[in-house]
Structure 1
Amino acid sequence: MAAGAVALVAVAAGGAGAVALAARGEPEPPAPGRAPVETTSVERTDLSDTRSLPGTLGFGAERPLRGAGEGLVTGLPKPGAAVLRGRPLYWVDDRPVPVFFGATPLFRELGKIGLRGRDVTTVADNLAALGYAIGARSGPAAVTTPSRGKPLPGDVFTASLRAALKRWQLDTGLPATGTLDVGQVAVLPGPARVGSVQARLGDPAAGELITLTRAVKVVTVPVNAADVGGIRRGMRVAVLLPADQEIPGKVTVIGTAATDGTSDGGAPQVSVTVTPARSADVKTLDSARVEVRFTVRARRDVLAVPVGALLALREGGYALQLPGGKLLAAKTGMFARGLVEVSGPGITPGLTVVTSS
Structure 2
Amino acid sequence: MKRVVVAAVVVVVAGGSVGVGVLRGGEGPVQAEAQPLGAASVERGDLVDSEKVDGTLTYEGERGVALGVGGVATAVPEEGRIVKRGEALLKVNGKAVTLFYGSEPMYRVLKEGVEGRDVEQLERNLEVLGYGGLTVDQEFTGATADAVREWQDDRGLEETGVVEVGQVVFLSGAVRVKDVKVEKGGRVAAGQVAVGVTGLQRVVRVDLDAEKQDLARQGARVEVELPGGVVVRGTVAEVGDVAQTVGEPPNQKAVVAVEIRLDKGAKTGKLDQAPVTVELESERTKGVLSVPVEALLALKEGGFGVEVVEGAARRVVAVKTGAFGGGRVEVEGAGLKEGMKVGVPVS
TM-score, length basis structure 1: 0.63
Deviations 1:274-295 (Å, cap 9, x if unpaired)? 3354254425x45532212233
User: More helix by proportion, 1 or 2?
Assistant: 1
Equivalent runs, 1:279-294 vs 2, <5 Å: 280-283=267-270, 285=271, 288-294=274-280
Please report how far the alpha carbon of residue 296 of structure 1 lies from its aligned counterpart in structure 2 after TM superposition.
5.0
Structure-1 separation of matches of 2:117 and 2:278: 40
Corresponding residue for residue 11 of structure 1: none
Q: Which moved more, 1:256-265 or 1:235-244?
A: 256-265
* Contiguous gaps of at least 5 residues in structure 1: 1-39, 139-154, 310-319, 322-326, 353-357
Structure-2 separation of matches of 1:132 and 1:239: 44
Cα 1:90–1:269, aligned 2, differ >3 Å: closer, same or farther?
same
Letter in 1 for 2:74: T
Corresponding residue for residue 144 of structure 2: 161
Letter in 1 for 2:198: T
Deviations 1:328-355 (Å, cap 9, x if unpaired)? 9x997x6534766689xx9975899xxx
- Please tell me whether residue 272 in structure 1 is matched to residue 259 in structure 2: yes
Query: Is the 1:252–1:275 Cα contact (8 Å) retained in structure 2?
Result: no
Query: Is the 2:178–2:196 Cα contact (8 Å) retained in structure 1?
Result: yes
Letter in 1 for 2:157: L
Please report how far the alpha carbon of residue 126 of structure 1 lies from its aligned counterpart in structure 2 after TM superposition.
1.8
Q: 2:159 aligns with which of 173, 176, 181?
A: 176
Query: Is the 1:73–1:205 Cα contact (8 Å) retained in structure 2?
Result: no
Corresponding residue for residue 336 of structure 1: 325
Structure-1 separation of matches of 2:94 and 2:339: 79
Structure-2 separation of matches of 1:172 and 1:105: 21
- Please tell me whether residue 246 in structure 1 is matched to residue 231 in structure 2: yes
TM-score, length basis structure 2: 0.65
Query: Is the 1:237–1:251 Cα contact (8 Å) retained in structure 2?
Result: yes
Deviations 1:241-265 (Å, cap 9, x if unpaired)? 2322222334445456543234985
User: More strand by proportion, 1 or 2?
Assistant: 2
Equivalent runs, 1:104-253 vs 2, <5 Å: 104-113=104-113, 115-133=114-132, 135-138=134-137, 155-200=138-183, 201-215=186-200, 217-253=202-238
Structure-2 separation of matches of 1:248 and 1:338: 20
Corresponding residue for residue 82 of structure 1: 82
Structure-1 separation of matches of 2:243 and 2:157: 44
- Larger Rg belongs to: 1
Deviations 1:192-244 (Å, cap 9, x if unpaired)? 22222222423323312122233354332222345445534554322212322
SS at match of 2:143: helix
Question: How many residue pairs end up in the alignment?
Answer: 287
SS at match of 1:116: coil
Identity of counterpart residues, as a percentage? 33
